[in-house]
Amino acid sequence: MNLFDPITIGDCQLSNRIAMAPLTRNRAKATIPNEMMRIYYNQRSTAGLIISEATNISSQATGYVNTPGIYTNLHIEKWKRITDSVHHYGGKIYCQLWHVGRSSHSDFHNGKLPVAPSAIASKGQIKTPYGLKDKEVPRELEISEIKQVIDDYANAAENAIKAGFDGVEIHGANGYLIDQFICDGSNQRTDEYGGSIENRCKFALEVVKAVSDRISRKKVAIKLSPSGTFNSMNDSTVIETFSYLIKELNNFSLSYLHLAEFYNPPGKSYKAPAHYLQEGEVIKYFRKIYKGIIVGNSGFDFKKANEYISKSYCDIIAFGKLFISNPDLPRRFKENDELNDWDVSTFYTDTEKGYIDYPFNM
């Protein structure tokens, strides 16, 4: 078994096991997908699977400038152009569904505070439409609002299918809303959504259920980062917490579970706390618990990816930064061709530079 073997996820036949990881690129002016984005995804359509950049499920879900949405008819119409274009070239594309929770700012919400499981701020600053600001203490969601957010996920999933996506990946990683509920550093609720591991995982599982009930569960996936500390995440029972959650996910026959071993923003190093699983341990550990297809991610190169596939530690590998700078990554891997370096300075800008101008040859 190697990276070039085909694989089926849900109803979707992937021509190889090389996935493009979800990558926020901030090119969607006023949340609307555009022609530049169509070209970008089209250039990368030889990936076995493209997972779209994180896409806001509602206006409330938003916390980064020029990130796309999937909650209006215009979003559906514009995303359709992108999915059609990827399909035209034989690719497959999932939409990553995103609610940032406390990783937002009142500047995005006409002065209203961002929402979260508990009124606990994450550390640091955030770039808003009006500049760099300190992160605020979010407002705790009421139970009726939690039900509404779950419904927003289901609506967004339905919209994604209308927009031609082959499926959806629920973003449960990297310290955004779902992760904020899971981990006790950000969830100190005393109701049914906080306290015990079961209660903290309830929101994630209810989102998975609502989305699976709305579209086929074969089209639903979730991304988790069980050792992630990005966005001030911490959990006192982390291995136990994620073991419970991942065991419960077995009940859903999802199309895959995406596991990011770590996430270090460009230029920052990563070290997991001592009671966390360390880099190199996360995927292997949860492989023993999860019964379905696992997409592995974080810091893979061709050699390590093939090792993971051939030893069956996981079934697909998602590449992030390598896909930014190598639109034709599968070909380069296959032909052992040289790889382009990525330019960090253009990751989050708003022009074609560093976005659709990396050289490639399909």
Ligand X SMILES: Cc1cc2nc3c(=O)[nH]c(=O)nc-3n(C[C@H](O)[C@H](O)[C@H](O)COP(=O)(O)O)c2cc1C
Coil, strand or helix: which one is 260?
A: strand
Contact pick of 120, 347, 349, 360 for ligand X (by CB under 6 A): 347
Complex with ligand X: residue 41 or 300, whichever CB lies closer? 300
Q: Which of 329, 325, 317 is nearest to 346 (CA)?
A: 325
Binding-residue total with ligand X (CB under 6 A):
23
Nearest approach, Cβ of residue 129 and ligand X (Å):
19
In angstroms, the CA 173 to CA 227 distance is 10
Contact call for residue 180 and ligand X (CB under 6 A): no
Contact between 165 and 93 under an 8 Å Cβ cutoff? The reply is yes
From 17-25, 155-163, 190-198, 206-214, give the range in contact with ligand X by CB under 6 A. Answer: 17-25
Contact pick of 180, 231, 298, 326 for ligand X (by CB under 6 A): 298
- Across-strand partners of 136? none
Residue 8, token pair as written in the block: 């089926």
Residue 3, token pair as written in the block: 């990276």
Contact call for residue 104 and ligand X (CB under 6 A): no
Residues numbered 214 to 273 that lie near ligand X (CB under 6 A) are 223, 260, 263, 266
Complex with ligand X: residue 23 or 65, whichever CB lies closer? 23
Task: Quickly count: other Cβ atoms within 10 Å of residue 26's Cβ.
Answer: 17
Question: What are φ and ψ of residue 46, in 5° steps?
Answer: -85, -5
Give the rounded distance of the alpha carbon of 40 from its chain centre.
18
Contact call for residue 27 and ligand X (CB under 6 A): no
Concerning whether 176 is annotated as a catalytic residue, the answer is yes
Contact call for residue 282 and ligand X (CB under 6 A): no
Complex with ligand X: residue 100 or 210, whichever CB lies closer? 100
Contact call for residue 95 and ligand X (CB under 6 A): no
Contact pick of 43, 297, 326, 346 for ligand X (by CB under 6 A): 297
Nearest approach, Cβ of residue 196 and ligand X (Å):
27
Give how far Cα 154 sits from Cα of 59, 143, 182, 211, 282, Å.
Answer: 15, 17, 19, 4, 29
Complex with ligand X: residue 24 or 232, whichever CB lies closer? 24
Contact call for residue 287 and ligand X (CB under 6 A): no
Contact pick of 3, 14, 70, 173 for ligand X (by CB under 6 A): 173
Q: Which of 173, 137, 168, 140 is nearest to 152 (CA)?
A: 168
Sign of CA dihedral 228, 295, 89, 214: negative
Nearest approach, Cβ of residue 288 and ligand X (Å):
22
In angstroms, the CA 122 to CA 79 distance is 32
From 118-126, 167-175, 214-222, 272-280, give the range in contact with ligand X by CB under 6 A. Answer: 167-175
Complex with ligand X: residue 292 or 299, whichever CB lies closer? 299
Q: DSSP code of 113?
A: P
Q: Which amino acid is at 293?
A: I
Nearest approach, Cβ of residue 192 and ligand X (Å):
27
Output the residue with the shortest Cβ distance to ligand X: 320
**Phi-psi group of 354: left, alpha or beta (phi > 0 → left; psi -120 to 50 → alpha; rest → beta):** left
- Across-strand partners of 96? 54, 169
Contact call for residue 175 and ligand X (CB under 6 A): no
Contact call for residue 44 and ligand X (CB under 6 A): no
Q: Which of 91, 75, 62, 90 is nearest to 34 (CA)?
A: 75
Selected catalytic residue, list 41, 64, 94, 176: 176
Which residue is it, tokens 């023993």?
A: 288
Q: Which of 202, 235, 236, 227 is nearest to 285 (CA)?
A: 227
Nearest approach, Cβ of residue 318 and ligand X (Å):
7
Contact pick of 96, 186, 212, 306 for ligand X (by CB under 6 A): 96
Query: Which residues are annotated as catalytic?
Result: 176
Residue ranges binding ligand X (CB under 6 A): 21-24, 53-54, 96, 171, 173-174, 223, 260, 263, 266, 297-300, 319-322, 347
